[in-house]
């Protein structure tokens, strides 16, 4: 049920409302991040090929890319509280479906529903902004942002031990239970918000974008060996892409305001974000696949358990939590452009190292620290800051939203390409990917990130008109 401007105000929000939002952000963030470290387990239990596992991983990312702008628009039109309640129960259903899924299509549906949870963060900010005084709002936003990172880390690190100690089902059900608890309390604790937005939801743009991304992912998953179907999908991507651009440039309230890309620094930041997303997405997908391979059968790999994998990920996750403030200091000292270059070089160094050194736990930890911890954290902070510097205060939300969509699409494309690569370069007897497939994937990751360096020159080194506080990495 939507909130209306005439609805009577609820009780004055207090600590209980902030507590409910805090529980929600931890639980939803953990639930969204768990498939990252649990993907090899899900792949084994459901009998998935690497290409199917890649499609499963990208489903969550692409849902976020499409649902994020729609959820934000609904929040503007109908009130954040009502839309938030709908998202909560979508995530609950998705978590339960994912827990008990016994086949690839069912798991895909579960992840699709879970993907709507990515719309929680901007809605929670809107609730805090409209319901709390300025001092309380800033504290609340800081708390929610920090807990979002903590929840994501808990999901990545807790998935392995939960799966090993209990089962895959409980890995999904425990955070889902917390979402249910918060969902029951939310109607009684979260205040109603007045609707102040005007306009409408760009449904045509949303449908075209969803169709475009779906055709792109299906085309990548089939590859040229798919024959006529591949070329039909490739043609569909071109046609849908042209139609989507035409629609977005003509409607009054576009899903994604493409005119923003014409601003100095915007197009370069978005392009670098997309390529960086592809680079680190590849690393996040390949490393778990590699370390769980049994060396006695595959000839390489570490034979790691799900708990071992969580331990390998721990240092990079902890570094990612603290790297944002440190990178912000670097941006203030040397500017966005130099900081972006530093982050890209560190990320590519980790990927290049992985080509030759991936046979021991310490090597895996160092690779993850460089490619997904330090490098991505430094570059992301500078990219968000560069995006904010490129636009006015009123355009900040739209601009950062476009940047996040670009990054999500880049990650999805990168993951799907290497997933198909692992499937195509598998041993005919064991059905396990060859070591050369992983090496080629790492090389593609490094190449993509280094390619982004050629665009970094277009990022303004300093703010042109005013100085803003660097954004923390997410």
Contacts of 396 (CB under 8 A, 6+ apart): 388
- What distance in Å separates the CA atoms of residue 440 and residue 384, rounded to the nearest whole number? 30
Nearest to 405 by CA among 31, 108, 115, 69: 69
pLDDT digits (tens, 9 = 90+) for 214-267: 787 777 766 655 667 777 878 888 898 899 889 888 888 787 777 777 777 778
Q: Could you identify the residue written with the tokens 């991507």?
A: 237
Low-confidence ranges of the chain (pLDDT < 50): 1-11, 463-474
Q: What is the pLDDT of residue 129?
A: 62
DSSP single-letter state for residue 13:
P
Of the candidates 108, 96, 123, 99, the one whose C-alpha atom is nearest the C-alpha of residue 24 is 123
The pLDDT value recorded for residue 223 is: 62
The residue count for the chain:
474
Q: Cα-Cα-Cα-Cα dihedral of 292, 298, 302, 307, to 10°?
A: 20
Torsion of CA 350, 354, 355, 359, to 10 degrees: 160
What does pTM read for this prediction?
0.73
pLDDT in tens, 88-119: 888 899 989 988 988 888 988 888 888 888 77
pLDDT digits (tens, 9 = 90+) for 428-468: 887 888 889 999 999 999 999 998 888 887 776 654 444 44
Tokens in use for 43? 């792949």
Q: What does the pLDDT read at residue 9? A: 43
Render the burial of 170-186: b for 16+ CB within 10 Å, e for the rest: ebbbbbbebbbebbebb
Tokens at residue 312, please?
Answer: 């390998």
Q: Which residues contact 124 (CB under 8 A, 6 or more apart)?
A: 21, 24, 25, 80, 84, 144
Alpha-carbon span 53 to 162, nearest angstrom: 20
Beta-carbon contacts of residue 1 (< 8 Å; ≥ 6 apart): 82
Q: DSSP of 231-249, one letter per residue?
A: HHHHHHHHHHHHHHHHHHH
Q: What rounded mean pLDDT belongs to the chain?
A: 77
């Amino acid at each position: 049920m939507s909130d209306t401007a005439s609805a009577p105000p609820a009780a004055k929000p207090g600590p209980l409302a902030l507590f409910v939002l805090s529980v929600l952000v931890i639980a939803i963030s953990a639930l969204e991040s768990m498939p990252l470290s649990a993907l090899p387990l899900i792949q084994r239990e459901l009998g998935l090929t690497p290409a199917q596992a890649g499609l499963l991983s990208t489903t969550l990312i692409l849902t976020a890319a499409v649902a994020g702008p729609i959820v934000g628009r609904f929040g503007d039109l109908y009130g954040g509280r009502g839309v938030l309640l709908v998202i909560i129960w979508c995530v609950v259903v998705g978590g339960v479906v994912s827990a008990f899924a016994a086949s690839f299509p069912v798991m895909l549906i579960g992840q699709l529903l879970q993907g709507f949870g990515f719309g929680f963060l901007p809605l929670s900010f809107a609730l805090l902004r409209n319901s709390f005084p300025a001092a309380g709002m800033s504290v609340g936003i800081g708390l929610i942002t920090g807990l979002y990172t903590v929840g994501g880390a808990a999901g990545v690190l807790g998935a392995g031990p939960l799966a090993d100690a209990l089962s895959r089902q409980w890995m999904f059900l425990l955070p889902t239970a917390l979402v249910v608890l918060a969902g029951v309390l939310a109607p009684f604790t979260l205040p109603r918000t007045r609707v102040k937005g005007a306009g409408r939801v760009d449904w045509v743009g949303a449908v075209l974008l969803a169709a475009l991304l779906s055709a792109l992912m299906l085309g990548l998953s089939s590859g040229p060996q798919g024959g006529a179907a591949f070329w039909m999908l490739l043609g569909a991507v071109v046609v849908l892409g042209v139609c989507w651009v035409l629609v977005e440039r003509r409607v009054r309230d576009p899903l994604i305001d493409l005119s923003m890309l014409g601003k100095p620094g915007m197009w370069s930041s978005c392009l670098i974000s997309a390529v960086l997303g592809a680079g680190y997405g590849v690393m996040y997908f390949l490393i778990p696949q590699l370390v769980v391979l049994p060396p006695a059968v595959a000839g390489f790999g570490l034979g790691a358990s799900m708990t071992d994998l969580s331990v390998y990920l721990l240092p990079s996750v902890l570094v990612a939590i603290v790297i944002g403030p440190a990178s912000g200091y670097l941006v203030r000292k040397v500017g966005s452009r130099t900081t972006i270059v530093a982050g890209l070089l560190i990320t590519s160094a980790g990927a290049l190292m992985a080509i030759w050194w991936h046979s021991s736990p310490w090597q895996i930890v160092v690779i993850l620290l460089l490619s997904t911890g330090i490098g991505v954290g430094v570059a992301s902070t500078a990219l968000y800051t560069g995006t904010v510097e490129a636009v006015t205060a009123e355009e900040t939300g739209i601009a950062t939203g476009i940047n996040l969509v670009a990054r999500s699409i880049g990650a999805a494309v990168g993951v799907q390409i290497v997933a198909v690569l692992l499937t195509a370069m598998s041993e005919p007897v064991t059905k396990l990917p060859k070591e050369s497939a992983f090496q080629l994937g790492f090389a593609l990751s490094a190449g993509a990130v280094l390619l982004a360096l050629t665009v970094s020159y277009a990022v303004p080194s300093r703010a042109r008109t005013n100085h803003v506080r660097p954004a923390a990495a997410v």
